[in-house]
Structure 1
Amino acid sequence: MKNIKGVQIAKAVAAGSANAALPEAAAAAMAGISTFVDDIMTAAWGIAAAVTLGFVGIKLFKKGANKAS
């Protein structure tokens, strides 16, 4: 029984790797999407850092204003 399952798994892996090659157009599209996502993530880090620093600054300002009064 174990040998049959091993053979079935080996056949499934071989069949999956035989169809693993993508057409050139699909590969180019995936590369374009990857580049687009990288650009968006790069921009998002800058925005996220600014928003986080803004919230921390507001909280510290409120804390200082409450202590002063």
Structure 2
Amino acid sequence: MKHFNTVKKYVNTKTFSVVAVAALGSVGAHAELPAGAASAMTEITTLVDDIIAAVWPIVTALTVGFVGIKLFKKGANKAS
């Protein structure tokens, strides 16, 4: 934190953020994953995609249900 405050005196926060993101991005660009790790990441990505695909119908049904309940309450309050 001490170093960040020192940098903050000489460089604005936006410039510091851009430089930090560029530095972190360049480190990742030179790293190559071993074949096993790349395979595991592919499997995890596939699993997450499957979970998201399975959850969307539930999220849609809940959203439609909550909106329907809200509209029903609104109509019931106007009728009474």
Please classify the TM superposition score into its range, dividing by the shorter chain length.
0.5 to 0.7
Unaligned runs of 5+ in 2: 1-25
Spell out, residue by residue over 1:21-57, the C-alpha distance to the aligned partner (whole angstroms, 9 max, x if none).
2221111100000001111111222211111110000
Tell me which of 25, 29, 54 is aligned to 2:65: 54
TM-score of the two chains, using structure 1 as the length reference: 0.65
**Structure 1, gaps ≥5 residues long:** 1-12
Bigger Rg, structure 1 or 2: 1
RMSD: 2.0
Number of equivalences: 54
Partner of residue 37, structure 2: 26
- Identity percentage of aligned residues: 63
**What secondary structure, in the 3-state scheme, does the structure 2 residue paired with 1:21 have?**
coil
